[in-house]
Structure 1
């Protein structure tokens, strides 16, 4: 790997790491409700839930939006509006807007940029385009960060062992690569989702009396 490419890859890892202050740890994407309702009680349940999120839910939608945001001449305001329209619940909208805002606040401060607020996958695409990395690589890393955050939430609150959690995450790697590759070939008019149980979980989380996560 050339030094410039290696440096860009490290930058992407930094942006998507838990240490980058987007507050990902505060969002469960509806997972908290699913755990409290007994729908996720072991590693197999978690893997099935995340597979649906990646293949049919926000994982796939975000991947397509990110891929288009990385493209030449990307229309960021239009992509941002589409990302907001695709949010199926108030909490999902809050999640993508809050993380996108936090991400760009840091990017703007580090790089002297003036990116306006955008939903998270569009914000990442706008910033990452100049890295010059293959789009499928960027999308796959994003999906890994998305799933990793949810795995860590499940490790703490199902609870699962750390080894079990890492096993679930590793088992999802082929699916992440598959979804990333497909997203880079998907037109915006083909964008949509069908993860209804996950969407209902996010909606039901809004009315939980005791909540640890914001979503």
Structure 2
């Protein structure tokens, strides 16, 4: 049995993507709150199906590709930022990625002792994680896992799901997360497409909910 410890860079990334890191991710549901309120997502199976589509066809894959390119040495972060903003399908989703990204950059900058520019979340993660020397696919896998885990947590509180059911849903998404991360790590930038139309509409319709727990 090996006594080797995890790489220090990996431990840093795990810390940054932890629910305890002050990005405020718990306040954002990515439109899932509207779907639950309308009865479109009502149980664990529904949550798993919704999140699988968001990962495969929506922000999951798109963010993974953006993150992969942000990890490149000499990446044109200004151009990537413009693209990330253009990909946001609604005002709420733009606010979600920019507000979390700004909070992430502020917190990681404080930890690292450097000033990091506020950027959309996948790019903020990329500009910090490029210093860690980790494989792209590993960084993207942990990023997508944190994204899915946050939405499972939202569903656990709001559907509501039992804690065990929420963890079952997250575990069931692991193979898909790994597949998307491997593909995104090698994907050209112009391969970004999104077709999670119901999730995009949910983020727009969420803006008009009379009672909201989440910001998005």
CA RMSD in angstroms, aligned pairs only: 1.3
Verify: 1:31 aligned to 2:32, yes or no.
yes
1:185 CA drift (Å):
1.3
TM-superposed CA distance for 1:5, in Å, is 5.4
Q: Which runs of 5+ in 1 are unaligned?
A: none
Find the counterpart in structure 2 of residue 117 from structure 1: 118
TM normalised by structure 2 equals 0.97
Give the Cα separation in 1 of the matches to 2:23 and 2:146: 12
Q: CA deviation at 1:106?
A: 1.1
Displacement of 1:211: 0.3
Partner of 1:89: 90
Distance 2:65 2:191 in 1: 9
1:114: Cα distance to partner? 1.8
User: Aligned partners of 1:167 and 1:37: how far apart in 2?
Assistant: 23
Q: Structure 2 CA distance, aligned partners of 1:196 and 1:13?
A: 31
- Aligned length, in residue pairs: 215
Pair 1:5–1:79, CA change in 2 (3 A) = farther
Distance in 2, Cα, partners of 1:157 & 1:29 = 13
Q: Is the 8 A contact 1:5 1:133 kept in 2?
A: no
Distance across 2 between alignment mates of 1:210 and 1:2: 52
Q: Aligned-pair distance for 1:109?
A: 1.7
- The CA deviation at 1:73 is 1.7
Which residue of structure 1 aligns with residue 65 of structure 2?
Answer: 64
Equivalent positions of 1:193-204 (< 5 A) are 193-204=194-205
Structure 2 residue aligned with 1:98: 99
Which contiguous aligned blocks of 4+ residues in structure 1 show a shift greater than 6 angstroms? 1-4
Separation in 2, partners of 1:156, 1:111: 33
TM-score, scaled relative to structure 1: 0.97
